[in-house]
Amino acid sequence: MLALLTPTRLDRYVFRQLLIGLAVSTLGLVALVWLTQSLRFIQMIIQHGLSPFVFLHLTGLLVPSFVAVILPITCFIVILFVYARLAADRELTVMRASGMSDAAIARPALALATLTTLACWTLNLWLVPSTLAKFTSFESVIRNQVAAFLLEPGVFTAIPGHVTVYVQRRDPDQVLHGIIIQDARQKGEPATILARSGRLIESADGPAVLLRDGSREQLDPKTGQLNILSFDRNLISLAKPRGGTVHLAPKTSEATMAQLLHPDAMQIAPEVRRRWREEAWRRIASPFAVLSYAVLALLAVLRSPFRRQGGTAALVAAVFGVMGLVAVELGVETLAARQNALIPLIFVVTLGPALAGLGLLLRGVRRLREATA
């Protein structure tokens, strides 16, 4: 068994091909997904004149979540492609002729799958929740403050927090003219503020506008009388109210493992608790699917007749097999989120195929030993 685990020069040769293929394919697919997903932020960046570094920072926080989804699939594709090419070039035939068992031939792929599983655990348990939480916070800052500081002339700009601002004209020195502000932050008591001019400033509480020569019009909800207050100078905050000591529960994808497993400190509904508990165990169990996908790819090549021309039915079956596993995993996760008693099924679906496939590979080793005994 120790000899079976000791890497040889041939193992390093195959592993190098697998590793390079995994890196190239993962980077390519991540770049493609990043490009398609980042298109929805380009308009905001261009219209508001933000720095390209802000765009890269914002969209870069999404990359770990892309990698976590793509990495198991690219690992399967690379193993299937590299071993199919080895079979087509008769390299697998030479390996078997030299006395190597299927388990020995599969060592580089299993090593790659193990490393990928560890990487997925790092992503699922720590990196992805952390970066998604930072993304949400950074996006909120951009939408709140940037929308206030980059008011477009002739456009009604909605500021988060029930405030709408209209600016008729904006001078090169950033002086605003013809300002209308609809402030509905006080429930049941909306106010309309008119000003001849003003200037955006950054206050201690966030963005604000310093108004000059204007009036504040507000309808008294009790008497129905319109109250008008004129002013020469007035500071109106455009920052979203912080709401005191209210602590909102994070999104499921942004919650840490400690929060998912111990949600007692947060006021959340029972159905949300069940979803959080399922999410915690899903993050632990889902990386095992990498091993199942890898073993399925190995069985498709090593345990089926493969010819240079044709003979790809097993490869196609492996692809559909992985698609079926993904569908079953999604279904089980949905059911487990509703009924936490089904959470162990997540481990059965993700780890079960890997154990069964490894049993088939190791059975070949036992047969080889019996034949040589």
Token pair for 276: 């959080």
Whole-model pTM: value is 0.75
Q: Are residues 14 and 129 in the same domain?
A: yes
The secondary structure of 82-115 as a DSSP string is: HHHHHHHTTHHHHHHHTT--HHHHTHHHHHHHHH
Q: Tell me the torsion sign for CA atoms 20, 25, 26, 28.
A: positive
Domain boundary among 237, 272, 288: 237
Instruction: Find the angle CA(283)-CA(285)-CA(289) to the nearest 5 degrees.
Output: 110
Residue 188 is part of which domain span?
161-237
Residue 126 CA to chain centroid, in angstroms? 12
The CA distances from residue 246 to 30, 134, 243, 266, 373, in Å, are 37, 20, 6, 10, 72
Q: Are residues 131 and 276 in the same domain?
A: yes
Q: Are residues 46 and 166 in the same domain?
A: no
Q: Are residues 38 and 120 in the same domain?
A: yes
Q: Which pLDDT score, from 0 to 100, does residue 100 have?
A: 86
Q: Are residues 233 and 256 in the same domain?
A: no
Q: Are residues 55 and 127 in the same domain?
A: yes
Q: In the chain, which residues have pLDDT < 70?
A: 1-6, 44, 47-49, 143-150, 160-161, 204-206, 239-249, 264-267, 305-311, 364-373
Q: Are residues 60 and 123 in the same domain?
A: yes
Task: Domain count for the chain, please give it.
Answer: 2
Kindly calculate the radius of gyration of the chain based on its CA atoms and give it in whole angstroms. Answer: 30
Q: Strand 156-159 relative to strand 163-170: parallel, antiparallel, unpaired?
A: antiparallel
Q: What order of strands is seen across the sheet that includes strand 163-170?
A: 156-159, 163-170, 175-183, 191-203, 206-219, 226-237
Q: Are residues 228 and 350 in the same domain?
A: no
Report d(CA 275, CA 113) in Å as an integer. Answer: 28
Q: Which pLDDT score, from 0 to 100, does residue 267 have?
A: 65
Report d(CA 99, CA 92) in Å as an integer. Answer: 11
Structural domain includes residue 152: no
183 closest CA partner among 205, 202, 166: 166
The pLDDT tens digits of the residues spanning 69-86 come to 999 999 999 999 999 999
Token pair for 322: 């992985």
The pLDDT tens digits of the residues spanning 337-353 come to 999 999 999 999 999 99
Q: Which pLDDT score, from 0 to 100, does residue 27 have?
A: 96
The CA distances from residue 81 to 7, 77, 103, 318, in Å, are 21, 6, 18, 11
Residue 257 CA to chain centroid, in angstroms? 16
- DSSP label at residue 251: P
Domain boundary among 237, 266, 286: 237
Q: Which pLDDT score, from 0 to 100, does residue 109 have?
A: 96
- Whether the Cβ atoms of residue 248 and residue 307 lie closer than 8 Å to each other: no
Helix (H) or strand (E) holding 215: strand 206-219
- Whether the Cβ atoms of residue 151 and residue 158 lie closer than 8 Å to each other: no
Q: Are residues 129 and 272 in the same domain?
A: yes
Map tokens 């939408």 to a residue: 143
Structural domain includes residue 151: no
Structural domain includes residue 107: yes
Domain boundary among 237, 265, 290: 237
